[in-house]
Amino acid sequence: MPYSIKRSAIVFGIALASTSVSPLVAQVKQAQNPVIFADVPDMAIIRVGNTYYMSSTTMHMSPGVPIMKSTDLVNWHLVSYASDTLGGLDELTLRNGKSTYGRGSWASSLRFHQGMYYVSTFAQTTGKTYVYSTKNIEKGPWKAVSFKPSYHDHSLFFDDDGRVYLVYGAGKLRLIELTADASGVKPGATEQVLIENASAPAGPNLGLPAEGSQLFKIKGKYYLFNITWPKGGMRTVVVHRADKLTGPYEGRVALQDLGVAQSGLIDTPDGRWFSYLFRDYGAVGRIPYLVPVTWTDGWPVLGVNGKVPQTLYLPASKGLIPGLVASDEFSRRKGEPALPLVWQWNHNPENSLWSLTDRPGYLRLKTGRVDTTFLLARNTLTQRTVGPTCAGTTALDISHLKDGDFAGLALLQKRYGLIGVDYRNGAKSIVMVSAESEKPVELQRLPLTQSTVYFKAECDFTERKDVATFYYSLDGKAWQAIGAPLKMAYTLPHFMGYRFGLFNYATKAAGGYADFDYFRIADTTTGTK
């Protein structure tokens, strides 16, 4: 996972001793790991003055490459997306039975250089590398350029001499020079091998070769961070160091604890250092951790006695609501965006088929074609789930469904769960569907005779319990469980934690629509209360 820091722009006021830097702080130890209990993988973080910015991976979601902001490394909120869409391929738009689940936009690199913010990413779906740039990371506009090939897990790097590079690859890491504005490969540039086997410090038996490159230049030395995974072991942080960009590099294991890995470095205004990493945590996804960093003989030393601490000398979290997830009543004042940044579409949307103005105060999802499965349906609107527990509720007016339509509330992953209204042969029914077996199975069907119905999905990620329960209500007050609990599982074909989703698709004829009155998210569960 890529990332780099230009010392003149980001790193200043650093007291970096040749032996170690003690984390002397006046703050009370109160932040907890994980600092974000939600799917925010492949983080890249920069500091500009007293403000931190972070980018992450959202793969098949649209818009993509989210940008988050913090002043304390713990409390983050969404401020932008670098990418509206990677293109119009069938895979990106769920056309002709194709999808880009688990692919799309992967690990991003975030940089600040000479007053300009740069975010780069890559996509196997299109075979391209993308570079987005702006002078205002929160408001844009973003300039987008793309070029071939797709440089895997690259780190965008601006060196002090004005030259620009990408470090990329897995196992064998390579270097390629870009043009000065990072808009493409420099004419005549050829790739060179930077490190023949970056996995070597972790041992000979590897399941995952070293990837996720993040390159830094600190006090004249180059530091390259990678993630690797020894067979029978856990995700591991490996760091290499060199006096010149082109090497030679010497490497060592930097952290091997809890499987917390794929890291970068960030400093605070008062001279402290942290490494930001993520941990695979079952169905909720890959969740961010911070570990303190000290310096010994010019090497970053991660953790406390080699371990990931549970508490940190940073401010406490105020929760992920409403910074990363949020409730939405679907009512908009003049000048407000149609959709808050917490929302992302499953793949590129068809914008003519959704509205918040056709019926003010409601999200209307219209059908424009016939679909065979939920996973291939257009315009499912999603938000992250959060841990350790969370609940999402919605109210749905199904007066204008057409025969064959299915609309409701989902928990999206390959092994998804749904609760919704199925209009079939002139009758409407509340239905719970489970794809726990990776094939959709209808677990319960109840007759529905009214036009408004309420749905709730609750998730329990405590200690990787990974169980979801679905509920319905006819009045929004008394709730009844339906179907059976869903055993959620993080699958690699989707490569993403479970997300709440509002959906409506047609199985017989297009032209119907469903009106969602609200979506409300909470970080607690209440069962049938």
Rounded Cα distance between 234 and 277, Å, is: 14
- Contact, 472 vs 401, CB < 8 A? no
**How crowded is residue 131: how many other Cβ atoms within 10 Å of its Cβ?**
25
Question: In terms of C-beta density within 10 A (0-12 exposed, 13-18 middle, 19 or more buried), how is residue 332 classed?
Answer: middle
Token couple for 440 = 């959709």
**HSE-CB of 366 using CA atoms within 13 angstroms:** 13
Say which residue the tokens 């469980």 belong to: 481
Q: Which of 39, 42, 280, 458 is catalytic?
A: 42
Cα–Cα nearest to 40, from 320, 299, 446: 320
Q: In what order do the strands lie in the sheet with 250-255?
A: 206-218, 221-230, 236-242, 250-255
Cα–Cα nearest to 120, from 173, 184, 208: 184
Q: Is 211 a catalytic residue?
A: yes
Give the dihedral of Cα atoms 523, 79, 102, 290; nearest 10 deg.
-70
Distance, CA of 227 to chain centre? 18
Radius of gyration of the chain from Cα atoms?
Answer: 24
Rounded Cα distance between 318 and 304, Å, is: 25
Cα–Cα nearest to 503, from 373, 387, 399: 373
Q: What angle do CA 321, 324, 326 make, to 5 degrees?
A: 50
Q: Which of 211, 436, 515, 517 is catalytic?
A: 211
- Contact, 495 vs 447, CB < 8 A? no
> Which element (helix H / strand E) includes 14?
none
Q: Is 436 a catalytic residue?
A: no
Rounded Cα distance between 243 and 214, Å, is: 16
CA dist 65 to 29, 42, 209, 345, 428, Å? 32, 11, 25, 13, 39
The set of catalytic residues is: 42, 211
